[in-house]
Chain A
Amino acid sequence: MNTADLVAIGGFVAMFVLMGLRVPLGVAMGLVGVFGFAAMRGITPALNLLTTSPIRVITDFNLTLVPFFILMGVFATNSGMSRELFRTGNAWLGQFRGGLALSTIAACAGFAAICGSSIATAATMSRIALPEMRKAGYADATSTGVIAAGGTLGILIPPSVMMVVYAFLTETDVGQLLMAGVVPGILATLMYMATVLIAHGKHLPSGKTFDFKEAITSLRDVWAVLLLFIAVIGVIYLGIATATEAAAVGALLTMVIGILRGRLNTKLIMSSLVESLRTSVSLFSVLIGAILFGYFLAITQSPQKLTAFLVGLDFGPYGTLALILVIFLVAGALMDEMAMIILLVPIVFPVVIHLGFDPIWFGVIIVVACELGMIMPPVGINVFVINSIAKDVKITTIYGGVMPFILTDIIRLILLVAFPIIALWLPMTMR
């Protein structure tokens, strides 16, 4: 072990200490990156990293679509599209036993198709579906569990900010990656519905009577969501425009629809802009830190050594993959998922590629691992978000409700590892 290795290890330790002290993640990574680089190359060059790199990150064209994917979801929420999705879901699925829960999952999937964020999906659905389910006599564990799990669809079904970040970190094709989320997203939706019926089945209230006319008229209200999904994802699939162009057009279109329906005014538009910008910035500031930390690791040459070490363990491709997934699941339970992929993906990605796995497929695997982390105790972000909206439901109650979904997620993860075609079929049909 030489000096560079020691500096790298010291850097990791320092970063974890700062993270534990609740220092903003971007700052923790950035400070350690700069001062670690200083230990290797001197303080002046290290400070000069701040002159060029942060501007390079925030003006990187591969990231320009992030704010638009978020903006689209915020406009959709503020103009009531999530409520319509839920109403339509209920008109069709409300007849079954546990119909409201099924409708909630369907509405989550529908909202995920126009919103790039999981916590936004979970939050918007808590506000709409939770009061209805409680009124209908659902147990708190069931209703919150369904929303927490359904919310995670936000990063699997395109658009997905998580996938944009993965594509940025690994230089994979973001369009193909987004498409790779579609079929696993449908699979996840169906598996969540089955989970509700099997695990929570005994306590589910029975459904309402089916009204054919209502079901048909309810479809009228969701045209906007359908239009937006086709406009954005269809355009990316067909390669007609770039993902950034599609995202910007999608955001503007959502706004225009909101204005035409009389649901967005100047004040609401302005606050939507600021809100989505602030969400984007919290992400970009972590990326700035991650890039600085990455330069520090590169100058110590530790990524290569780590790759050599992991490959040298000789567990075989699937053994090493299993080890990596366990690391991701533990990290996912303990920290924010965005933090996790920014921290871990650059380190494990070279190993995964070296072992011969498909980069697009691995992106989907990582997103599913993130979904698990979002509902896994002790730090399940979606659970926290629901708890902050439904303050009278105990955190432990929500965790109790999501347990069956954690099991389904693990089964789904195994299915995706065993059958990569589930993820890769759709992107393979692109040009």
Chain B
Amino acid sequence: MHRYLERFSDAVDVIAGLLLGLCTLLIVVSTVGRYVFSWAIPDSFDLSRYLIGACMMWGFASLGYRGGHIAVDLLYEPLGPWGRRVLDFIAWALLLAFTAMLAYMMFFRLTGAYRSNEATFDLRIPVWPLVGLIWFGCASAVVTTAVAPFVCGKHEETNPLEGHGV
């Protein structure tokens, strides 16, 4: 079971990373096209926006598994191991509840986009597949967050930079 969960979260990382790479390429190509060849990729504005959104939700799933959300350590630091475990549990439970609520409600944005024929501005491509890509990231975040306490820790050393904004 653990093996599958780890494989799942590795896949989440790969998808998230590839989406960011794809998005970088799309923006660079459209920039070069516009300034060098005065040729505009239709819908590049909408596509890059939605792709960044998808990156963020798949990245959110990656965070659900390994942690790294911005939190305030002020009261946490002085606590003993037992107190920390209690706070860890509260934080995890609320993160899971929020993520689940988000995924549930965001599903209606997906069905709404499908039913209302919402499309991109230039080529009028339906936007629901893009919203769907975002929603799948959010749904994956529910899974990765839910299983996080049962699998994390053995995977890799935590990055000291994570969870501290920028």
Contacts and interface: CB of A to CB of B under 8 A. Distances in A.
Nearest to B102: A50
A25 B72 contact: yes
A274 B16 contact: yes
A59 interface: yes
B56 A284 contact: yes
Interface string A368-381: 00000000001101
Contacts of A388: 160
B68 interface: yes
Given A64-B52, A274-B17, A283-B70, A23 B94 contact: yes
A54 B31 CA distance: 27
Interface residues of A, number: 78
A282 B63 contact: yes
A23 B69 CA distance: 9
B148 interface: no
A209 interface: no
Contact of A385 (B30, B63, B160): B160
Given A123-B160, A123-B161, A161 B72 contact: no
A42 B164 CA distance: 34
A277 B62 contact: yes
- Interface of B: prevailing SS: helix
A296 to B, nearest CB: 15
B74 A248 contact: no
- Interface of A: prevailing SS: helix
Nearest to A337: B165
A20 to B, nearest CB: 5
A22 B73 contact: yes
Interface string A231-266: 000000000110011001101100000000000000
A278 B162 contact: yes
A286 interface: yes
A24 B95 contact: yes
Interface residues of B, number: 64
B74 A385 contact: no
A311 interface: no
Contacts of B70: 24-26, 282-283, 285-286, 336, 338-339
A336 B57 contact: no
A378 to B, nearest CB: 7
Given A21-B87, A31-B98, A50-B106, A64 B161 contact: no
Interface string B54-75: 0111111011001011111111
A345 to B, nearest CB: 14
B120 interface: no
B52 A67 contact: yes
B162 A24 contact: no
A194 B87 CA distance: 44
Contacts of B91: 21-24, 27
Nearest to A274: B17
B145 to A, nearest CB: 10
Q: Which residue of A19, A58, A61, A68 has the most chain B CB atoms within 10 A of its CB atom?
A: A58
B165 A283 contact: yes
Given A51-B106, A276-B20, A278-B62, A270 B14 contact: yes
A277 B59 CA distance: 6
A276 B58 CA distance: 13
Given A23-B90, A25-B69, A335-B72, A282 B52 contact: no
Nearest to A249: B28
Nearest to B66: A278
A248 B28 contact: yes
Given A51-B112, A273-B21, A282 B163 contact: yes
8 contacts: A20-B72, A21-B91, A244-B48, A273-B17, A274-B13, A334-B74, A338-B165, A378-B74
Interface of B: 13-14, 16-18, 20-21, 23-25, 27-28, 30-31, 35, 45, 48-50, 52-53, 55-60, 62-63, 66, 68-76, 87-88, 90-91, 94-95, 97-98, 101-102, 105-106, 108-109, 112, 131, 134, 159-166
